[in-house]
Structure 1
Amino acid sequence: MIILNDIAKEYTQGKTNVKVLNKLCLHVNYNENVGIIGPSGSGKSTLLNLIGLLEQPSSGNIKICNVDFNELKEEEKVIFRKENIGFIFQNNQLLEDFNVEENVALPLLMNGNSFRKSISKANDYLHLLGISDRNKFKPGLLSGGEQQRVAIARALIKNPKILLADEPTGSLDGENTKIVFNSISKLSKEHKIITVFATHNLNLVKLLDKCFLMEGGKLLDFKNK
C-alpha cells in the first residue's frame, strides 16, 4: 500500500520558492493500477520521484508497504528502492552498449545475482512480453514499442512491489500503446504489483482502476469512463 499524507514539495529558483505539491494526499491499495493526469509541469513526475524515493518531500509523510520513510536513513531508502520499486521512463533509458537481454538483466546483476541466472530470467520476461526474438539486438535496432517492452521487462524482473511509469506510452501510436499497457496490466495483476502511471492519454485512463487529476499541487478524483 502507498500512503502519502500532506505532502508538500518546493524548489528554490534564485530568491523565489516554487511550490510544486501542496498538502497532497494519496492512498493506493495493493494490486491497483492508478493514473495521474495533468499538463506538463503540474508535478506528475515530481510525485513519482517522491514515491520512488528519488526525492525528499519538503514536508509530509510517505509510507510504502507499511514502512515509514520519515524514519529511515538514506542508505536504507536506497536498499528499499533497489529491492521493491521498478521504474519505466518515457525515454526508456536503455543502455546502447548492452543488448536487450543484458539491459533487462541489469537490475539482477546490480543486486549480486549470477550472470547466467540473470540472463535466463531476463529471457523469461522477454518471452512473456513477446520480444524474445530480439534478445541479442542492441536497443537502437528496435522499434519504439519494442524498446518500451524491454523497459517493462527490466522494471519487472526483480518482482517489485511497486511499479512507477512516467508517460510509458507517450511516444507510441495507438496500437503499440494498447500492447504496452496490456503487458504492464497483465503482469502487474498476476504479481499483485501496485502500478502508478503518469500520463496524458485519456484512452489509457479508461482502463485504470482509478485516476487522479493533478491540479494546484493536489490530486483530485478524475472520472472519464
Structure 2
Amino acid sequence: MTESVTNNKGSGLAITALILGIVAILSSFIPLAGIFLVWAPAIVGLILGIIGLTGGRPSRVMALIGVILSALSIVLVIAFTAAAVGAVSSAIDETAAVSESSEVSEEAAGASEFVYEVTGDGGSAMITYASYSDGEYSSQSANGAPLPFSYTGTLADGGILDFSSLSLVAIGTDSTTTLSCKITVDGEVVSENTSTGAYASVMCSQSDSGF
C-alpha cells in the first residue's frame, strides 16, 4: 500500500515536472517576455523532476524529460539575455561613435571662413556676391563699390558647410583697364579671374575651382 502511494506521488511529481518543463522551454522562445516568464516554471520543474526521479520507470522517464526541458530553458534564456545585452551595448557604442564623429565634423566645419576680393583700376565697380548669414544664403549688390573691395563671411551654420553657393561677379567702369576677383576659403584661394578693358567683367565661383 505504501509503495503504491509512493509510486502515485512520484508519478504526479513527474507529470507536473514534465508539464512545467514544456511550459518553460516554450516561454524561453518568447522575445523579451520569456526572460521573465521562464524562471518560475523552470526552477520548480527542475526541483520536482529531480524528486520525481525516485519513482517507478514511467515516472522516472517523465521526470527526466521534465528536468532536461527545465534545465535547457534556463540555458536558453541566459543565452538569449546575453545576446540581447550584447546587441544593446553594440548599438549604444555605435551611436556614441557616430555622435562623436558628427561633433568632430561640426567643429572642423565651424572654423571655415570665406573672403571675396575685387581689385583693379577705374576707382570702382558694380559687385554682386552671394552672402551667408543666419543659416541662409542671399544675394548682395554694391553699385559703385570703391576698389579694392573685400567681404568676409563664415560659411557654416551648425557645422553644415556648402561651398556650392560661393559666387562673386564684378563689372568695371568705362575707365577700367584691369579687373580681378578672388575667393579664398580658410586662407586657400579656390577661385580667381582677371579681365581687361573698359567695362571689364569677371566672375569667381566655387564651380570654377572644383574645391
Range into which the TM-score falls when normalised by the shorter chain: under 0.3
Larger Rg: 2
Q: TM-score, normalised by structure 1?
A: 0.21
Higher share of residues assigned helix: 2
Higher relative contact order (CA 8 A, sep 6+): 1
